[in-house]
Amino acid sequence: MHSVTEPWVSADVIAAHLGVTKDSIYTWIAKKDMPAHRVGRLWKFQVTEVDDWVRNSGADETSRPSTKEAR
């Protein structure tokens, strides 16, 4: 039996799903290992992968070292 696979969605759809800007999405891909897949020039996402990443604190801004030194 053929299983139904999850559709790939665009950065616009993922940004709307998470309530953030596309700029945030591209930053997270580059700096926080957000699960994304390159298809030609476009980034594509699977919602379940992104949801799992968020649940595991992938988007947590406090999880990265601060760029400001304590004075």
Query: Do the Cβ atoms of 50 and 35 come closer than 8 Å?
Result: yes
pLDDT at 59: 76
Q: Kindly report the average pLDDT of the chain as a whole number.
A: 85
0.85 surpassed by pTM: no
Give residue-wise pLDDT tens across range 3-58: 568 999 999 999 999 999 999 999 999 999 999 999 999 999 999 999 999 999 88
pLDDT at 62: 67
Question: Which of 42, 38, 59, 62 shows the shortest CA–CA distance to 50?
Answer: 59
Single-letter amino acid, residue 20: V
